[in-house]
Structure 1
Amino acid sequence: MRPFIIGFACCALSVAAHAQKTLTIAAQSEPTAMDPHFHRANSNNAMLRQVFDPLVDFDNSGKIVPRLAESWRIVDDLTWEFRLREGVRFHDGTPLRPEDVAFSFARLPNVPNSPGSFASAVRTVSEVKIVDGRTLRITTSEPTPFLDAELTSVLILSRQLHQNATTADFNSGRAMIGTGAYRHVSYQQGNQLSVERNPAFWGGTVPWDKVQIRFVSNAGSRVAALTAGDVDLIDAVPTQDVARLEADPRMAVFGTESNGTAYLFPDSARERAPFVTDNEGRPLVPNPLRDVRVRRAISMAINRQGIVDRLLAGQGTPAEQFAPPIAIGRIPDQPSIPHDLSRARALLAEAGYPQGFRMSIHGPTGWFPGDTDVLQAVAQGMNRIGIEARVEVLPTSSFFSRATNRDFAMFMTTYASNLAAITLQQVVATRNPAERMGPFNRQHYSNPELDSALEQALRTMDPERRDALTAQAMRAAIDDVAVIPILYLKVNWAGLRDRVRYEPSPSWYTNALFATPVK
């Protein structure tokens, strides 16, 4: 009987293992921290949404949908009311209460060393009043038409559990207790994140019992892992591999136009900028990037269509303004930015730089597919008009801290939002920490004309008037070349056709919430 019993036990274990649905993902970017309020970055937001929830969220069609709040309404121009779902609990059994929402809002501006604060999401919130055990009223200091959209970025913590939690506590896993569909298992910085199904999830049963997300920054390694069957899904599919994987019967590619813009941010604020010299290598004062003609010349030197067609194999769209086509409130029918080397050289000469100058431009590596190649193409265009440009790329872990420290004369990064006004408010509104304006304005750009129109837009409840004011602010940014938009990104995932389907996220979110098993 012994061999039979052993065989039966092995068979039972095999069946149990087969019944367990495990999803393995190879992701390009790891979080900069596991603290949900540390860094307003796509990689952080994507990973942490598996464990924590916001009150409301954008779905992949751009509609705001309920999450921890089952309903919400505008009471008057200064008052919003949110009603929480009944019976929601954190992973340790602690019930969700309105006080937790108030605590989360209050924590946002107080996270030390944040390279991209969430505080602007609640910048106009003056009071959170607890109405009853499930209802809260939010009073704002001014009309805030985008409050629900802003709150999609705020993941809710527990006052009881997280009152004294530090970013280190989240990184170690001690504070990784949320209300989300998956519970934290382990996190190894630079290596992987493991989560498991939350059996008490308020949203019902999720399809995966276990999820392992491996951080693989090298694009070739991600594709190799997928084709070998070592992972079920990869993100940031290299642009040159999209067509090949689409043609492979074993693979499925899931792509969508994103809400993100890749852009250059020149330092036009300081009289002297780092990494800018004359042609003999001497520091150049005044900073040539302060002259709008120089910024416009750099923009005109970029062959945006060539970058999209040749470097990105069509996986993107040339940008003509800061906000992408998916964004509400962008300028309709804005003309494209011309690629005109002759005019760019003339502008440099008009600005007093007929022989050009030297500078380094910086960017993150492994942030989006082809990012280093795009930055090299930008530098090539600058060289063609007489600016001797050198490219330096850094890992994201150090790049964003250095950009925030104003270590660069000009850098490339991305910003993603479904709202044009929020894009402007986050990146090019005059930086004002007290008012929580311009948190991603890392170059301290300032334009009173832009600020005036934008501030009106952000407190205008009438949609038509608001869109007109947003367009006015966007035109001010365009005319002054506040930033230099390069392209709107298309994002792609690829998976094993017989294992997983993926609902592509315009916000670039890679996580188990958008993945379903094929069988």
Structure 2
Amino acid sequence: MRGFLLAIASCFLPCAVAAQNTLTIAAQSAPTAMDPHFHRANSNNAILRQIFDPLVDFDNDGRIVPRLAESWRAVDDLTWEFRLREGVRFHDGTPLKAEDIAFSFARLPLVPNSPGSFASTVRTVKSVDILDDRTIRIVTSEPTPFLDAELTAVMILSRQLHENATTADFNNGRAMIGTGAYRHVSYEQGNRLEVEKNRGFWGDKAPWDRVQIRFVSSPGSRVAALLSGDVDLIDGVPTQDVARLDADPRIEIFSTESNGTAYLFPDTARDQAPFITDREGRPLARNPLRDVRVRRALSMSMNRQGIVDRLLAGQGRAAEQFASPVAIGRIPDQAPIPYDVARARALLAEAGYPDGFRMTLHGPNGWFPGDTEVLQAIAQGFTRIGVETRVEVLPTATFFSRATNRDFAMFMTTYASNLAAITLQQVLATRNPETRMGPFNRQHYSNPRMDEALLEAMQTMDETKRNALTAEAMRIAIDDVGVIPIFYPKAIWAGLKARVSYDPSPAWYTNALFAAPVDAGRAN
């Protein structure tokens, strides 16, 4: 017994240190794949940024900061120069080379079955010229003022390591070799990811020796895991629980205005849309969502402020345009979208639907806190004006696959960007695989007037003129109700006060890069 106690005593200090250096997170959304070029989704980007690096990145204050590139500049309207850091190596010791940048760019449009391609980020890149081992020049086919911002989305792979790697190779761990602050240890699809400190990292050393991220879609289960001390940090805090958790002396809330918008995307492109019938269940002769009056009526039926106040407990802001308040280039001082049931009914009647119609509204389950409740509230508003609406929610991977296949008449999702022009270019620009415009335009919306203003904005190097053109494009899109903005979510995390502090990410990124151990003295 004495020997056993001595063994425990000798282990106590190192074991305690090891436990202190392990971070455990319960995250709401699992990645749809571990391939960093497969799906431009926040859940994927957040997780994979721990393992892979971009050339440059946005910090949590919205500034573009160096990552694998230590410096960069616009040489002229068509040329950008990037200087790579010296001595960067992938986790297996393979050195980062200038040719890896060209390889990574070229791979983006080649990833099969992508539900949201990264290819549009390099749509204007004409060539990547290697000046020396650490210097590249990117030549574009047209002026591209947002190129550095676009490249924040592209994580860099190695030609030597990843030239023949498939998405399956990333999912099973064989290709999970990056330059990031953490190394891949294991991944159980949809269940958990484990990473460990990269002791050869080029930047500041990670404070956590090991990180476990559990994917827990149930908000109640995430909260319960935090309160029991089973995890150190959770994201997607249920809005109705924020006040209760904030009052708990063991818990700290970390929140910020997000750069995202929750919105509805109606099918305006097809004469016949799925999940729409008359009130008797018979097919309609024409898709009613093609009529702007119907779309305006649906938008007016939504009590946005009521959704924010009652369903989100004030943890958000009613949307009046597509880009969030933190996005650059949005419309300044845009008037709120009116909530007017009587006018909405009149618009339906003007459009030829005095008796309304039936529709199913789709959305992902567990994408953001309260998403199903928000869908139900919207459906009630639609039904109130005569559009009898039912709700169907799906697991995120299934939902996004079906949305990309155009299986829905109207669906709810979110989009996040620090730039209003990029939001429009990704979601509402006329979809064109050749020019890589509109990769997230899943409903194939098209408005030539908006395209014209947006394309001019995206080629204008003068910031003042560019922002004015972006705002013009936004006005056209909102007036045409190409999408129906609902609200701007607040990004909220909760952590054990004695264990972890968190720098809240406007991009909703949940990972160990923003988490720091709490000093024992401060915790006490």
- Give TM-score, length-normalised by structure 1: 0.99
Q: Which residue of 1 aligns with 2:286?
A: 286
Tell me the SS of whatever aligns to 1:438: coil
Q: How far does the alpha carbon of each residue in 1:156-202 deviate from its partner, in whole angstroms, 9 at most, with x for none?
A: 00000000000000000000000000000000012100000000111
Give 1:499-518 correspondences, 5 Å limit: 499-518=499-518
SS in structure 2 at match of 1:268: coil
Residues in 2 aligned to 1:413 and 1:443: alpha-carbon distance in whole angstroms: 12
Task: Give secondary structure in 1 for the equivalent of 2:259.
Answer: strand
Show CA shifts across 1:222-269 (max 9, x none). 000000000000000000000000000000000011000000000010
Task: Tell me the matched-pair count.
Answer: 517
Partner of 1:77: 77
Distance 1:344 1:506 in 2: 34
Q: Distance in 1 between matches of 2:195 and 2:76?
A: 41
Partner of residue 275, structure 2: 275
2:522 maps to none
Corresponding residue of 2:241: 241
Matched residue type, 1:511: N
Q: How much does 1:70 deviate?
A: 0.3
Would you say 1:297 and 2:297 are equivalent positions? yes
Query: Per-residue deviation at 1:123?
Result: 0.3
Alignment of 1:452-467 (within 5 A): 452-467=452-467
Q: What SS does structure 2 have at the residue aligned with 1:473?
A: helix
Query: Where do 5+ consecutive residues of structure 1 fail to align?
Result: none
* Amino acid across the alignment from 2:379: A
Q: Does 1:163 align with 2:177?
A: no
Which residue identity lines up with residue 18 of structure 1 in the other structure? Answer: A
Match of 1:443 in 2: 443
Instruction: Tell me which amino acid in the other structure corresponds to 1:161.
Output: L
Alignment of 1:118-157 (within 5 A): 118-157=118-157
Aligned twin of 1:16:
14
- The one-letter code matched in structure 1 to 2:247 is A
Which amino acid counterpart does residue 57 of structure 1 have in structure 2?
A: D
- Measured after TM superposition, the shift of residue 15 of structure 1 is 1.9
Q: In 1, Cα distance between the equivalents of 2:260 and 2:480?
A: 21
Distance 1:146 1:9 in 2: 60
CA distance in structure 2 between the aligned counterparts of 1:285 and 1:104, rounded to whole angstroms: 47
Q: Residue 284 of structure 1: CA displacement?
A: 1.1
TM-score normalised to the size of structure 2?
A: 0.98
1:327 aligns with 2:327: yes
| Equivalences for residues 482-493 of structure 1 within 5 A | 482-493=482-493
CA distance in 2, matches of 1:284, 1:320: 31
Q: Following the alignment from structure 2 to structure 1, what is the Cα–Cα distance between the partners of residues 423 and 397? A: 23
Q: Which amino acid aligns with 2:13?
A: V
Residues in 2 aligned to 1:280 and 1:337: alpha-carbon distance in whole angstroms: 31
Q: Deviations over 1:267-287 (max 9, x none)?
A: 010000000001110111210
Q: Secondary structure at the match of 1:234?
A: strand
Distance 1:11 1:169 in 2: 44
Q: Deviations over 1:194-227 (max 9, x none)?
A: 0000001111211100000000000000000000
Shift of residue 12, structure 1, vs aligned partner: 3.1
Deviations 1:120-164 (A, max 9, x none): 000000000011010100000000000000000000000000000
Q: Which residue of structure 2 lines up, in the alignment, with residue 223 of structure 1?
A: 223
Give distance in 2, aligned partners of 1:164 and 1:320. 45
Q: Secondary structure at the match of 2:258?
A: strand
How far apart, CA to CA, are the structure 1 residues paired with 2:457 and 2:502?
36
Could you tell me which residue of structure 1 aligns to residue 388 of structure 2? 388
Aligned to 1:313: 313
Alpha-carbon distance, 1:10 to partner:
3.2
Tell me the SS of whatever aligns to 1:116: coil
CA-CA distance at 1:9 after TM superposition = 3.8
Q: Tell me the residue number matched to 1:189.
A: 189
Match of 1:200 in 2: 200
- Three-state SS of the structure 1 residue aligned to 2:353 is coil
Partner SS state of residue 43, structure 2: helix
CA distance in 1, matches of 2:81, 2:2: 64
Q: Matches of 1:469 and 1:300 in 2, distance apart?
A: 27
Q: Distance in 2 between matches of 1:309 and 1:108?
A: 41
How far apart in 1 are the matches of 2:3 and 2:205?
Answer: 34
Q: How far is the alpha carbon of 1:397 from its aligned partner? A: 1.1
Instruction: Give the C-alpha shift of residue 14 in structure 1.
Output: 2.5
User: Percent identity between the aligned chains?
Assistant: 77
Structure 2: gaps spanning 5 or more residues:
520-524
Q: Which residue of 1 aligns with 2:362?
A: 362
Deviation at 1:5, TM superposition (A): 5.7
Cα deviations across residues 445-467 of structure 1 (Å, max 9, x unaligned)? 00000000000001100001101
Q: Please state whether the residue corresponding to 1:382 is helix, strand or coil.
A: helix
Distance 1:170 1:201 in 2: 20
TM-superposed CA distance for 1:13, in Å, is 2.6
Q: CA deviation at 1:75?
A: 0.4
Residue 45 of structure 1 is matched in structure 2 by 45
Amino acid at match of 2:90: F
CA drift of 1:434 comes to 0.5
Amino acid at match of 1:485: P
Aligned to 2:265: 265
SS at match of 1:46: helix
1:90 corresponding residue in structure 2: 90
Quote the Cα distance in structure 2 between the aligned partners of 1:226 and 1:356: 46
